[in-house]
């Protein structure tokens, strides 16, 4: 059944009386009536209702998974790019054990240029941890 414009607000108020939530209101509405912009009107009503917002279910917090502390320096390094800053990109490398930072100014951010500019002490760490940046994924 198509609801005329003059009755739409009354129908929405009736539909929302028990605060069933946006998804449930849409399901009920679709099985009984329709008008142009019905979904948008239901969403606006749900967002405007303080009671619905206060009782909205929150997703559970993801559990924290701390890194295992490396037993020696340079066993695990964390690498990422920072910038652009003043027209340059910077490769930031941090030792997970000592927290020692190494920063290199880069002209390009490719895998080859990244590892060729890393200081010799960082060439063969036990594990490299990096973001999923294309520069770090080239060889995979």
Residue given tokens 């080239």 in the structure block: 138
pTM, two decimals, is 0.48
Q: How many CA atoms lie within 13 Å of 8's alpha carbon, on the beta-carbon side?
A: 15
- DSSP output for the chain: -BPPGGGHHHHHHHHHTT---HHHHHHHHHHH-B-TTHHHHHHHHHHH-HHHHHTPPPPPPPPP-PPPPPSSTTSEEEEEEEEEETTEEEEEEEETTT--EEEEEES---HHHHHHHS-GGGSS-SEEEE-S-HHHHTT-
Six token digits for residue 45: 């009503």
Instruction: Give pLDDT, residue 1.
Output: 87
Q: What is the mean pLDDT of each run of 10 residues along the chain (140 residues)?
A: 91 91 91 93 91 79 89 87 87 90 82 56 64 56
Pairing of strands 101-106, 127-130: unpaired
State the pLDDT at residue 9: 92
In this predicted structure, what is the pLDDT of residue 44? Answer: 93
Q: Which CATH class is domain 76-137?
A: alpha beta
Bridge partners of 90? 82, 105
Q: Which residues contact 51 (CB under 8 A, 6 or more apart)?
A: 19
Give pLDDT, residue 61: 84
| pLDDT the model gives residue 135 | 57
Residue 11: per-residue pLDDT: 93
Residue 139 has what pLDDT? 47
Vertex 102, ends 97 and 108: CA angle to 5°? 135
C-alpha–C-alpha distance, residues 22 and 132, integer Å = 36
């Amino acid at each position: 059944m198509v609801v005329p414009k003059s009755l739409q607000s009354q129908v929405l108020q009736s539909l929302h009386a028990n605060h069933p939530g946006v998804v449930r209101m849409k399901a009920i509405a679709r099985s009984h009536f329709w008008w142009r912009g019905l979904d948008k009107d239901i969403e606006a009503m749900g967002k405007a209702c303080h009671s619905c917002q206060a009782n909205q279910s929150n997703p559970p917090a993801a559990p924290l998974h701390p890194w295992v502390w490396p037993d020696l320096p340079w066993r695990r390094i964390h690498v990422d790019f920072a910038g652009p800053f003043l027209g340059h990109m910077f490769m930031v490398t941090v030792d997970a054990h000592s927290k020692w930072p190494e920063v290199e100014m880069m002209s390009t951010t490719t895998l080859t240029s990244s590892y060729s500019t890393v200081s010799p002490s960082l060439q063969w760490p036990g594990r490299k941890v990096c973001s999923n940046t294309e520069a770090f994924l080239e060889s995979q």
